[in-house]
Amino acid sequence: MRRVLAGEHSVSALAAKYDMSFAAVQKHVAVLEKSGLLVKRRSGREQLARGDVEAVRAVSSMLAELEQVWRGRIARIDELIATQPQRKE
């Protein structure tokens, strides 16, 4: 994601940067495209990919909100556990 957020790259150029097969990188790009985090376009024989910064920001914001929800829930569970009387065995 960092590479495609920084600029447009061909799928083959991306594959050359990683210790993965071209097919594996192509599958990753397809998943990111399907999720809306990446946009692909064809230029001649190459497929060029670039990250959608606004989509990544939206996902980041949503995840931050969910993190706060879960942190609140965990804090509430901690409070409930702390207020439970201790069992004597």
Containing structural domain, residue 37: 2-51
Task: Return the CATH number at 27.
Answer: 1.10.10.10
Query: Does 63 share its domain with 40?
Result: no
Cα separation of the two ends of the chain: 54
Q: What is the pTM of this model?
A: 0.72
The tokens of 11 are what?
């799928």
Query: Does 46 share its domain with 75?
Result: no
Residue 25 within any structural domain of the chain: yes
pLDDT digits (tens, 9 = 90+) for 40-80: 999 999 999 999 999 999 999 999 999 999 999 999 999 99
| Residue of 70, 62, 64 lying closest to 35 (CA atoms) | 62
Query: Does 18 share its domain with 58?
Result: no
DSSP 41-69: EEETTEEEEEE-HHHHHHHHHHHHHHHHH
Query: Does 35 share its domain with 64?
Result: no
